[in-house]
Structure 1
């Protein structure tokens, strides 16, 4: 599904560039330059000339080609409190993308660039942006939203990948693609994602300021090559918000998975394990550990590719995976960090800008539901306790009034609870971001570590306090582990 929309997005980008750049070239008939040995080299002029042509169909040329809409495209483990907009930007040694926008009325926004493997190469967050003259960055100080900024997506090595690379003001970089021992520039059509979290207003969750305008210009900013058409909402996947809801997610969640169908799922271990996400390569190691009951750690010096699944550089993630072959009622508990805009927490004193818990299915990358920080009950001990089950299996006492967050399991054999930490406070030593590769999570996160367990529903309903329920469930599992555990 994601490949289909990526292909469609590429077509949209080409058509949009055709509309805004047709006839603006230098008149040269050459579309591809050559290096000294005759090898074709993609340059800014050749790329733009190749895209010259006809006016695109109405709406197709929107600078932002795809917007997230979990009702129709629920992939890449999204967060329900966020909205994502995607473009493919023509980035070559001779061009850059100018991004002109306004600071939204929202908790957070950012731009992330990606390579062909869906790994982030660089990013710039709201608080890092210098406002235009006469404007105020409302993410740096208390001020009304709507101030203007100008940012750039530039060709070249990224400070995220190479800390020695200096960062120009308000600039993120396309970065490099690692091919073995070689670093190849990420260029051509580079994926750029604009994210807005917890939008306070705006029909399309854009924070009430619309979408940023995208202009392709020469790398030195001396000449504009064309501005992509603006729109309120991209054409994909729902024709600018015109298509009616499909209700697919609600239909799926209404299904009651047969508990007797205890399929073997390779990412789930018993007892449940919580892993930090470092990259796609480490996911393979985690699957191996789950299958063999081992605890192999990828050395901190070994990099198998940072990120993946269109992850956000400003987030760090843990995952706790469950399988119905071990039980159909699952719990995760941890001490709750404080967050921006939390009542009683001063601005700037919060542990994190944002955190959330999302229930997902691994193979399809779909989420069933999420609980954002402001939606998640915190008990008198300062902990959150998440309960995951089918609606029919939800214990009667698993309510917000009792201090529980309940998430639907969905019609799947497995369940992956993804825990996000965004933009950690420098003084918050227990953030997921602080866990080095190869270090057990609990050594760093302490009580903030998400701990998972299964539970017998009869045990769950014997108490009301989340701490007592969780302790009783852990004890019951220790005494009566499932018989399907490998090696038993």
Structure 2
């Protein structure tokens, strides 16, 4: 596929899927890597080899820059602080920003290089957090078609959600409908056996529409196949075809402390983790997490960009509504393709299939909207937006009901969803494929965010959110006037991600933008794309006024709305 004339824009050729000619050979190689590692672990447990695992026993392709050392430790030596790589919930401030597409109201705990053989298992023990939501997600059982490229691109993880986790005997689960959120005894234990097979067949909970299932066991893998971009000479990293698995844990909206500050640990200690051999011997493979953690938590400064007006030819236009994100990789590629008006939809689909191993014409986890590193229970809506000088961006809509938790509410209530937030991420100038996937780049820098429980709602749960630079804030952009004001931040152009989190059926309303309701109509790159679903900037689509409508105007025009601003009084953006 040629580059556009007169540009330095780079678009890699879409690899062929699947990236093998002999599937059984891939399975044999996987078993060989696993068995060699298992023998080394047995020898170490017997005291015959050193604790540091030699490179020849690691998956050929593992990222030794981010994870330079893998070391076996005995059960008594395992400490949670050396198991988890954290990304703490932290409010957005102009003092410094963090990247890689975080929701700032979420604490992310990840074992980013989870390595262990088939037949072994990971055991996680902890306490139910004081938060709105939490889940654990493990990379799926090994199957050559289920790619995991470079730790973040590929098929979805297998989840276990808070309400489904059985507590320890004599303890309680505060995430069940009507449960006491402030119980003292709140312990849990979850097991993840490492296996080969079809992840959806092995895990009944790994299936739409709700991804729910009883029992505290989910099957995964600590060895993954990276696909075409792992191969030397490819457009990817070229380190090799193999990698470790991962285990994710997320705390959404931890309860606030009495002084209103964020308790990023959600009132509990870090969960304890150990591995077990088939004989029940406990150990852990400890990884040097320092390089990865430094990069993931790097605080960056963003210079104030010159104001910019929305473009009528981009996904930030007055006519354009929202699309659905079905994978971060696919969203970045589709965003570049859509905004350049050059790369066709078929290219986006083929690149996603060739690199991530995902597509509606495949089977198993590959057909799901959920993808690697995304939260299984979230529907992600995305669009772009710019802000000109002296202007405001306004969102209006209706918010589904949700359980309030921020102030340590006593009971876990019901609702039409669990959580809703809108985060704006800086869009750097001249973004292309090379910059977007450069390991040294910090992309997805969050510059503003607003979430459900801090929004001003009227009696019909309708909202008016006003974004502006501080110097352009209208005098009536206040809660007293019925308005939630948000500092736009330093970037002129942002990419918005709306996280709409549901846990069905208890916390899932009829207007949630789920695949069951919308199909693939909201995915611009799909043949089924239908802008009438959510792709038009109006309240007339499939979600009605639950879809945020975008308005754009002079700050002075908004100020003229006076001291009682309601959704129906905000002027439409005609473009």
Query: TM-score, normalised on structure 1?
Result: 0.71
Mapped to 2, the partners of 1:392 and 1:432 lie a distance apart of 35
Structure 1: any 5+ residue segments left out of the alignment?
A: 1-20, 43-48, 181-185, 482-488
Mapped partners of 1:446, 1:52: distance in 2: 55
Q: CA, structure 1 residues 380+111, in 2 after alignment: closer, same or farther (shift >3 Å)? A: same
Q: Secondary structure at the match of 2:545?
A: helix
Report how far residue 288 of structure 1 moved. Answer: 3.3
Task: Name 2:248's counterpart in structure 1.
Answer: 193
In structure 2, distance between residues paired with 1:53 and 1:368: 40
Partner residue in 2 for 1:435:
518
SS of aligned partner of 2:218 = strand
Which residue number in structure 2 is paired with residue 284 of structure 1? 333
| SS across alignment from 1:432 | coil
Q: Deviations over 1:307-330 (max 9, x none)?
A: 458321121111231124799421
Q: Does 1:169 align with 2:234?
A: no
Per-residue deviation, 1:351: 0.5
1:95 paired residue number: 120
Which of residues 278, 283, 295 in structure 2 aligns to 1:225? Answer: 283
Aligned residue for 2:152?
A: 117
Is the contact between residue 73 and residue 285 of structure 2 (CA under 8 Å) also seen in structure 1?
no
Contact 1:435 1:445 in 2 (8 A): no
**Per-residue deviation at 1:282?**
4.9
Q: 1:405 to 1:425 in 2, by over 3 A?
A: farther
CA distance in structure 2 between the aligned counterparts of 1:112 and 1:335, rounded to whole angstroms = 31
**C-alpha separation in 1, matches of 2:374 and 2:391:** 28
Aligned with residue 301 of structure 1, among 360, 368, 371: 360
For the 8 Å contact 2:422–2:499, the answer to whether it is kept is yes
CA separation of 1:178/1:204 partners in 2, compared to 1, >3 Å: closer, same or farther?
same
Distance 1:207 1:335 in 2: 29
Check whether the contact 1:386–1:406 (CA below 8 A) recurs between aligned residues: yes
In the alignment, the residues of structure 2 paired with residue 59 and residue 153 of structure 1 have an alpha-carbon distance, to the nearest angstrom, of 19
Shift of 1:29: 5.6
CA change 1:227–1:155 in 2 (3 A) is closer
| Mapped partners of 1:53, 1:110: distance in 2 | 26
* 120-129 vs 293-302, greater mean Cα deviation: 293-302
SS of aligned partner of 1:352:
coil
C-alpha distance in 2 between matches for 1:360 and 1:33: 38
**Structure 1 residue matching 2:101: 3-state secondary structure:** coil
Q: How far does residue 105 in structure 1 lie from its aligned partner after superposition?
A: 2.0
Q: Distance in 2 between matches of 1:257 and 1:212?
A: 41
- Tell me how far apart the structure 2 counterparts of residues 236 and 121 of structure 1 sit (CA, whole Å): 21
Q: CA RMSD in A?
A: 4.7
What residue is the counterpart of 1:126 in the other structure?
Answer: 162
Does the 8 Å contact 1:101/1:212 carry over to 2? yes
In the TM superposition, 1:242-391 aligns within 5 A as: 252=302, 257-259=305-307, 268-279=316-327, 280-292=329-341, 301-302=360-361, 306-307=369-370, 310-324=373-387, 328-341=391-404, 347-363=412-428, 364-391=443-470
| 1:448 CA drift (Å) | 0.8
Q: If each structure's strand is expressed as a fraction of its own residues, which one has the higher value?
A: 1
Question: How far off is 1:404 after superposition?
Answer: 1.8
> What does residue range 453-468 of structure 1 map to in structure 2 within 5 Å?
453-464=551-562, 465-468=565-568
Cα distance change, pair 61–467 in 1 and its aligned pair in 2 (3 A): closer
Shift of 1:126: 0.9
**Post-superposition offset of 1:265:** 9.9
C-alpha deviation, 1:212, in angstroms: 0.4
Q: Determine the structure 1 residue equivalent to 2:273.
A: 214
Mark the CA change 1:417 to 1:387 in structure 2 (over 3 Å): closer, same or farther. Answer: farther
Instruction: Please give the per-residue CA displacement for 1:61-120, whole angstroms capped at 9, x wherever unaligned.
Output: 611133336577712222222212222322331322110111122222111235423454
Change (3 A) 1:108 1:409: same
Partner of 1:162, secondary structure, is: helix
The number of equivalent residue pairs is 424
1:80 to 1:288, Cα distance in 2 relative to 1, 3 A: same
CA-to-aligned-CA distance 1:338-362 (integer Å, 9 cap, x gap):
1112799995530111112222224
Q: TM-score, normalised by structure 2?
A: 0.62
CA contact (8 A) 1:104 1:146 kept: no
Q: What displacement does 1:52 show? A: 4.4
Looking at structure 1, the residues matched to 189 and 175 of structure 2 have their Cα atoms a distance apart, in angstroms, of: 15
Instruction: Specify which structure has the bigger relative contact order, considering alpha-carbon pairs within 8 angstroms and separated by 6 or more residues.
Output: 2
Superposition deviation, residue 221 in structure 1 = 6.7
Q: Which shifted more, 302-311 or 195-204?
A: 302-311
- Relative distance call for 1:409 and 1:335 in structure 2 (3 A) is same
Residues 356 and 419 in structure 1, CA contact (< 8 A), matched pair in contact too:
yes
Displacement of 1:428 in angstroms is 1.0
Q: Which runs of 5+ in 2 are unaligned?
A: 1-40, 61-68, 140-147, 206-213, 229-240, 350-358, 429-442, 523-532, 535-539
Q: Which range is displaced more, 436-445 or 133-142?
A: 436-445
**1:295 & 1:328 partners in 2: Cα distance?**
33
Partner of 1:12 in structure 2? none
DSSP 3-state at the match of 1:139 = coil
Provide the residue aligned with 1:6 in structure 2. Answer: none
